[in-house]
Amino acid sequence: MMRIAPVLFLTLALACGDSTAPRASSSASDTSITELAYRVVNTYPHSALAFTEGLEWDDSVLIEGTGGWNGNAWLRRVRLESNQIVQQRGVPIPSFGEGITRFGDQIFQLTWTEHICFVYNAASFDTLRTFRYRTEGWGLTHDGMRLIMSDGTSTLYFRDPGTFAQIGHVTVRDEKGPVQYLNELEYIDGRVYANVWHSDVIVIIDPATGRVRSRIDATGLAALAGIPTPHGDRVLNGIAWDPEGRRLFVTGKLWRRLFEIEPVPITAR
């Protein structure tokens, strides 16, 4: 539903890394965390009716999965510059749509409490099959080999994309302990980026150890999107990565804006 140290290394990784090649993992005993802010590079329109649960860059467009009851959950392709919907299908009633990821020629979409993952043809959006799981469904991404799933707890689950069977898991921890409410996920250069629900924080996780390596403080983005404080359910949620353009996009539930941001050292904001 709903960092890599030092900072210079993160900046270089964002600028020239390979998004499909995992990095060497940091030691599990290393608890240092790089604190980051952000710089807004570009601002784009986003639907104020889209309760964003999953976001993914797909060649030249965005794939977005939204939540909602009574037929108001969608899987869609939208143009970045205009937010024009170019393809759309409803999530089967009564499911509440959650995280999405494209894996090869398939798109996987979780549901919140229905315990069903829908698998669609990536080109046509036709349903190919469904899988069942025991937990809630929140966020979904992949590392090129395994699906990586969150369920609102501090756990990331690794799943076989062919069977959806769980093949591993890791507890995400920062300097204070387990990090709860892991939500929408994106895999970037060997790290898992995760929205922390009802916060302005994006944590950057080493999936081998579960350690938070960096943390982006995204405070202020909601205000730039026209969202009043307190935000209610209109929280930061949605991370997409353009591996060719090296662009990082973020948005939120029911936000009118989508942002391309660049993580920067906290003192340079």
Tens digits of residue pLDDT in 146-196: 999 999 999 999 999 999 999 999 999 999 999 999 999 999 999 999 999
Within a domain: residue 20?
no
Question: Residue 26: which pLDDT band, with cuts at 50, 70 and 90?
Answer: low
Residue range 210-216: average pLDDT?
A: 98
The whole-number pLDDT of residue 199 equals 96
Query: Domain with 239 in it: what CATH number?
Result: 2.120.10.30
Residue range 200-215: average pLDDT?
A: 98
Within a domain: residue 19?
no
Within a domain: residue 22?
no
Within a domain: residue 66?
yes
Considering its fold, how many domains does the chain have in total? 1
Residue range 140-149: average pLDDT?
A: 98
Within a domain: residue 158?
yes
Average pLDDT of the chain, as a whole number = 90
Q: Is the pTM of this model over 0.85?
A: yes
Within a domain: residue 227?
yes
Domain assignment of residue 208, given as a range: 7-14+29-268
Within a domain: residue 2?
no
Residue range 19-40: average pLDDT?
A: 70
Q: Per residue in 54-86, pLDDT tens?
A: 999 999 999 999 999 888 899 999 999 999 999
Within a domain: residue 96?
yes
Tokens linked to 67: 């939540």
